Structure 1
Amino acid sequence: MDRDTIGGKPVSDEQIAEWADEAEAGYDVDDLKKRGRPRLGSAIAQVATLRLDPELDAALNERAQRDHTTRSSVMRDALRAWLEAS
C-alpha cells in the first residue's frame, strides 16, 4: 500500500493525529498571515520574466552560489547597480 509523503518522507498516523489536534485547537490568524514571501520594498513585488542564454544562466548560478544568495537577489542587485550608473 502506497503512503503519502512530504518531502519524500512518509507521513505517519501519529503526525496526522498531531495535525488534527492542532487544527481542532484553532490557528492564530495573524500568525498564519505572516507566512509567505517577505515584501521587497514598500509594496508587493512585481514578477518580471527574463530570458537568459545558457552561458549567462550558468554565470548567474555561479555568482549566486559564490555569494550564498539567490538568483533573484543577484539579478536585483545587478539591475540596481546598472540603473544607478546610468
Structure 2
Amino acid sequence: MAERETIKGTPVTEEQIAAWADEAEAGYDVEALKKRGRGRPGRGAGPSQVVALRLTADEVADLDARAEREGKSRSEVIREALAFT
C-alpha cells in the first residue's frame, strides 16, 4: 500500500486493512447499520440552505487562521460573525 494513503491524516496500515477485512468477513449487524442517520445532521427545526461565498485568497487565509486558532470550522466562524450583525 502506498505511504500516502490516509484517513483524516492518519496513515492506513496493512494491519488496519486486515482488521477491516476480518470484521467484514465476520458480518455486520444490518439493523444497527440502518439506524445510522444519512447526511449531515440538521442545524435546527427547519431546513438549511447552502450559500456560496466568494473570498479573496487573503480572506480565506484569514478565515482559516481564525478557525484553526479557535478550533472551529470555516462555517462556524462565518455563522458566528453573522450572529453579531
Q: Normalising to structure 1: TM-score of the pair?
A: 0.68
Give percent identity, aligned residues only.
29
Structure showing the higher helix proportion among its residues:
1
Counterpart of 1:55 in structure 2 is 58
2:30 maps to 1:26: yes
Deviations 1:9-66 (A, max 9, x none): 1311x4213123232x423222x12x54221121232111101011111111111112
* Worse-matched range after superposition: 35-44 or 58-67: 35-44
How many residues in Structure 1 have an aligned counterpart in Structure 2? 76
Rg larger for: 1
2:72 maps to 1:40: no
Q: Unaligned 5+ residue runs, structure 2?
A: none
Q: Normalising to structure 2: TM-score of the pair?
A: 0.68
Q: Which runs of 4+ in 1 moved over 4 A?
A: none
Q: What's the RMSD between the two structures over aligned residues?
A: 2.4
Distance 1:40 1:21, change over 3 A: same
* 1: CA distance, partners of 2:25 / 2:47: 33
Q: Unaligned 5+ residue runs, structure 1?
A: none
| 2:84 aligned counterpart, secondary structure | helix
Q: Which letter maps to 2:64?
A: N
